[in-house]
Amino acid sequence: MPYRRADRMYPLPRHGRHRIAALGVSAMLAAAPAPMAASPEPPFDATADTVFDIIATGDASAFLCLEDRGREVRQMWDKRIDGERDLNAFLFVAHFSDSAPIDIVLNPEFGDTGSARAEAERYARPLGQLPALLRSGLRQFGIHKGDKGYHGGPGKVFVYSGKTDLRLSQDHLEESLFHEAVHASLDRDHARSDDWRAAQAADDAFVTRYAQEHPEGEDLAETALFAYGLIYRPGRIPPADAAAIRARVPARLAVLATILSLPPPAHDGTPACP
């Protein structure tokens, strides 16, 4: 995805674990000013390039273990060839305490099982830091080498190890995975729903330029991360920026408060990890 550098950068201190302070829809609306009369310039360029550490490295994770399943032919989308192909991929299964497992598949270019496992481990714990709802629709997590932007679609996310190096250096891997998991788990049911379209019309503004340029494909994923931060990680978005977000998209924040409070689908229970 063609993210651009954010216009505004703020130093943001690292935070320890926060108690989740879930807000109801009515509380969210009460905290938000009325929508602006004219469509203002978005305050941010893209969620991928903000410095807000909304999901901190030390936050709790539901990740339990990574199971080695050997090699298996899997179809993997790859931006480097702008298409899909069948590959004899390395296969691992990430197990979580509160959701179904996720297949982590790696391009054979990683060479050997040890290298592939080390790469898979970079994502397993951060995936467990996402809300279970966002993991619920993610069935395959694919990893390539290279530095292309991450890509998410129904049921699948594909990432690139070189881009991950950058995201880790920015303390932003978890937030990038959050964005792609929205595509995998929520887009199909919500990105073009009547409630979301009505909220877009009511707000008549966007929180990022990337969302503004791609209102159907990216607005939900872009706005959801900020909503999650405001609702579940209060204090990790500076007050002035939190006010700017609430001023522009109060209706969408209310819709997302409802979406993010939905229970994840039931799963078979905690696996016996090796």
pLDDT at 274 over 50: yes
Task: Report DSSP letters for 107-128, one per residue.
Answer: -GGG-SHHHHHHHHHHHHHHHH
Q: pLDDT grade, residue 103 (50/70/90)?
A: very high
pLDDT at 183 over 70: yes
Give the DSSP H or E segment for 213.
helix 209-213
pLDDT at 2 over 50: no
State the pLDDT at residue 96.
95
Chain-wide mean pLDDT for the chain? 87
Contacts of residue 41, defined as CB under 8 A and 6 or more positions apart, other chains included, come to: none
29-33, 104-108, 120-124: the lowest-pLDDT one: 29-33
State the pLDDT at residue 244.
94
State the pLDDT at residue 272.
62
Q: pLDDT grade, residue 132 (50/70/90)?
A: very high
User: Percentage of the chain with pLDDT > 90?
Assistant: 79
Task: Report DSSP letters for 1-53, one per residue.
Answer: ------S-----------------HHHHHHHSPPPPSS-PPPSBS-GGG----
CA distance 13 to 20: 19
pLDDT at 188 over 60: yes
CA distance 130 to 213: 26
What integer is the mean pLDDT of 181-204?
97
pLDDT at 203 over 90: yes
What integer is the mean pLDDT of 135-149?
96
Which residue spans within the chain are E strands per DSSP?
63-78, 83-96, 102-106, 140-144, 151-153, 156-160
State the pLDDT at residue 102.
97
What integer is the mean pLDDT of 119-144?
97
Q: Per residue in 207-259, pLDDT tens?
A: 999 999 999 999 999 999 999 999 999 999 999 999 999 999 999 999 999 99
CA distance 160 to 167: 11
Q: pLDDT grade, residue 13 (50/70/90)?
A: very low
**In 3D, which of 191, 64, 49 has the Cα closest to residue 127?**
64
State the pLDDT at residue 229.
97
Contacts of residue 142, defined as CB under 8 A and 6 or more positions apart, other chains included, come to: 74, 76, 77, 89, 104, 105, 106, 107, 156, 157, 158, 159
What integer is the mean pLDDT of 62-73?
96
Angle at 153 between CA 207 and CA 181, to 5 degrees: 60
pLDDT at 138 over 70: yes
Q: Which amino acid is at 253?
A: L
State the pLDDT at residue 258.
97
Taking each helix axis as running N to C, give the angle between helix 173-185 and helix 113-128, from 0 to 180 degrees, rounded to the nearest 10.
80
CA distance 145 to 134: 24
State the pLDDT at residue 22.
36
Sheet of 151-153: strands edge to edge? 63-78, 83-96, 102-106, 140-144, 156-160, 151-153
What integer is the mean pLDDT of 72-89?
96
Cβ-contact 7, 51 below 8 angstroms: no
For 230, phi then psi, to 5°, come to -65, -35
Question: 63-170: what fold?
Answer: Zincin-like (3.30.2010)
State the pLDDT at residue 6.
34
* Domains in the chain: boundaries: 25-57+185-260, 63-170
Cβ-contact 212, 162 below 8 angstroms: no
